[in-house]
Structure 1
Amino acid sequence: MDIKLIREDLGGAAAFYRGGSGHVEVQKVRLLDRQRVLEQGVLYLGDLTKARALSQEWRTEKGCALLLAEAPEAQVSALPPEKLPEVTMISRLSIPALFNRISALLEAPQADPLHAWKLVLSRRVVSSGEICQRLFGTEEAAYVQLLLFQKKDHGPLPQELAEQVKLWFSEDTVIPDEEEIAVLRRHREQLFTFPLPEGMEESLETLGCVVGIGNATRDCGMLRTMCQMIRHMLRLRQRLDREETLCFIDQYQMMIVLDYCVQEYVQRNGHTDICYLAHPALVHIARYDAQRGTNLRQVLYQYLVFGGNVQRTAAELYMHRNTVMNKLKKISEMVPLDLSDGLLCQRLLLSCQVLEYAEKVLKLRVDQERE
């Protein structure tokens, strides 16, 4: 176990006197008792009196550690620094209290994953290697993917969901909590599409639950950020009136970015009318739709999503191909824009998303006349 994890478990009762920034792996704890050699992988526990008597004689191996009980820092400075191990700690607790606590920690078969996960989310553990050690028992590099299961209405989870998730992800780290279940999946290589258990979507639909699916990262220090993004995505899903049960982070990335931008826009301008961020052609089409009961904006959006593919646009909208062509012709007559211009189409697509956000999240009427 990393010495930093031991110090963290002791909390304010212990501190590093020297070292602490490096990595020292501890397998066992021993009391100071006439040792001539302080061995690698051992945490030696004693008091100042014993340390003074032995420090002149002992030899310290690289990778050992010393913990001095009931030791004020001012008195430790009297020990010869060249004789102290690279990692030396001091504590206000007694030797028996420290020995029992550290022994129990080293003998524990595995740290509680929920406790470790809460340490990550509270930023009490931030380094990638330390997070991997706590969550997986190893610092071996791997691509880690986070999934979050929640109730669609953000209420308490049904009891049967936790057991079902453990069956679906029997080889992964499953961390159940009252209102959320986190699953940490480790992949040997970077993946851009992730296999999911058969029947999971249908089961979640029956239970009234949803899952947010993040991308994989090798930096476990970013798992908290990924968790925040997935939670953000699931809140946006509800505010945007989306119906997906399987929510992939890359499908919501533009809306997440837009949500951050809107917060800045509102703070800078003192109002929420974000229609000024959209291309005026989209606002003009929205007004036309409202006045005549048409769906030209929806047709244009799907046409842009499918990269100008009329056949796929028609299939998505359950329309005949000729109907889509006629609507696109009407759009071209209203707003004479070159839809073969890729950069223009990108701006129009973003404008469609801006207007969707304005309507569904901010509850604005985008078709109103503006002075």
Structure 2
Amino acid sequence: MEFDYSKKVKDYQERLNQFMENYIYPNERVYMEQLNEEDRFSSIPPIMEELKQKAKEEGLWNLFLPESEYGARLTNLEYAPLCEIMGRSAMAPEVFNCAAPDTGNMEVLVRYGSKNQKEEWLRPLLDGEIRSCFSMTEPDVASSDATNIKASIVRENDEYIINGTKWWSSGAADPRCKIAIVMGKSDPEAPRHKQQSMILVPLDTPGVTVKRPLPVFGYDHAPHGHAEIEYNDVRVPASNMLLGEGRGFEIAQGRLGPGRIHHCMRTIGAAERALELLCRRAQDREAFGRKLAEQGVIREWIADARINIEQARLLTLKAAYMMDTVGNKEAKAEISMIKVVAPNMALEIIDRAIQTFGAAGVSDDYPLASSWANIRTLRLADGPDEVHRRTIAKQELKKYQ
């Protein structure tokens, strides 16, 4: 087994780390200050567009998209350590045009979009000119089982009519969000996994109403946000259908595999930064006559954190390797494993970092509180822990049938 990164990956790592040190970390507070100067959901902090342009100039743009002519031609395994670096800052993925849900939506368009769909929507997404959302989860059904989706997609002549309410459509509140990928039921009488379809819906289409942004533990994640959207007799051309009627579940499975592993990669980066902050704080503060770093319990936290990060990273790299070599479907157990492991690992480390910081840890003076709130959602997003454990157990039991 080869545990070393290639020369190409090491070069990207060095350049990304340098960019983070020079431009991302120093501008995190600038970004928040600019965001708070106006309505948080109506304008984009100028520093974000400046940094995106800088990332383009330095060739640190669209690093995802394996097996595609559009990206940097990196495999999932090569992209993993780079995505991890981006995950150290909440603002960083967008700077490099590697932020969810756009990455997943671009992968959908690359894999399943028609030539016209790619020209109209993929190209401006790749260029960072617009943003997008993924509209699948619904308030009235258990959406962890995608076959429960109730929103309707009905054909009428050369159009489809969409009706339903979606929520947690991340990015829909962003003024730059122009297109939604909507999952709905097109044939309730078809076999269970052939009832759903996915269709492209421009957000300026009559009948589309972004009702409200949904906060996460009090964080609104502006200007990105997570929106509740109402689709009321929304009509779009039949050519907006992705891949074909009844292929929605298939597309969802193809989309969520890479999306899940990207979340885990970024989560490892967030855990690394939390551990770094914990260690620096522990060496800086004294209590009861000794530095915190000399307290036995703190040292146990640090040791456990390093062990758990390394374990999660190796499992993530294995999943990425399998996606590259045997495909996403064959790697589904490993993808489910990391989806359970990474958020739980990071939450424990961030929680202990918060404890080390004391009252400062729950404030917005440091990234720990917001990072905890964001990563806690990953135990639900793209499938809750319980569903992934079910998948893992099912795959394990197959060995003994």
**TM-score tier after normalising by the smaller chain length:** under 0.3
TM-score, scaled relative to structure 2: 0.23
Asked which structure has the greater RCO (Cα within 8 Å, sep 6+), the reply is: 2
Q: Which has the larger radius of gyration?
A: 1
TM-score, scaled relative to structure 1: 0.25
Larger relative helix fraction = 2
